Amino acid sequence: MGTPCWRLGHGSAPRWGRQAGASLQGRKRRRSQRWLRAALPARGSAGGAMGASAAAEMEGLSQRCPLLPAAQGCPRAGRAALLLVVTLSLLMYPVLRSLTLQLHSAITGSYISGTHSIAFINCLNEQIAKDIARAIMDKKLAAYVNILPKSSALYFWEGELEESTEILLLVKTRTSKIGELSNYVRSIHPFEIPETISLPIDQGNPLYLKWLEESVPQD
């Protein structure tokens, strides 16, 4: 048999293998250099060249990999859903708070602050005060009405300081009935602008407050 045209050295690769490897490394090096020259801006160019090159590259990438319509709409849909949840929470907060307080009161038997109120109604004389108080009770708009003694009052009317005497009614009722009470008093009161104001009852005798609740029908 003939002798091979290449020889093996001690611990060395075949000659043709070394030549092929060097050729492959050279091609890789030249390809890397060409890529760097294409990627980097020319020496001495303005700094905006790099930004323009990057923008062009990103534009090309976006054209090659366009977003799906559903993916483009996801952020907007998410913001709309979040806004809807926040709006509903704000609208439902008074109702949820009221239900929570009523449930807590039913379980613990405690009084919910502000459930009942005291309304103040001024009357010209004792007879008018009695008539209005009886009408309020007949309509079941209150559980208790105090008719206070006649007292002097000072007030402005049409820019002039006036002085008169009046009777004051203290009406104990549910806070939820204040609007209906005010409208009813305005319809039967002889004054053009009768006084009907109220203050919520914070706390008190639990038994008395419970009696107020049982005496005035709930809405």
User: Mean pLDDT per segment of 10 residues, for the chain of length 219 residues?
Assistant: 46 49 59 58 48 57 51 67 82 70 64 92 96 96 96 92 95 96 96 94 92 88
Backbone angles phi, psi at 132, to 5 degrees: -70, -40
Question: For the domain with range 116-215, which CATH number is right: 3.40.50.720, 3.40.50.920, 3.30.70.120, 1.10.1740.10?
Answer: 3.30.70.120
pTM, 2 dp = 0.54
Q: Residue 31: what pLDDT? A: 64
Task: For residues 121 and 119, give the distance between their C-alpha atoms in angstroms, rounded to a whole number.
Answer: 7
CA 181 to chain centre: 33
Q: Residue 12: what pLDDT? A: 47
Q: Residue 141: what pLDDT? A: 96
Domain parsing of the chain, residue ranges: 81-110, 116-215
Q: Residue 128: what pLDDT? A: 96
Rg (C-alpha) for the chain, rounded Å, is 45
Q: Residue 74: what pLDDT? A: 55
Residue 180: enclosing H or E segment and its boundaries?
helix 178-188
Q: Residue 87: what pLDDT? A: 85
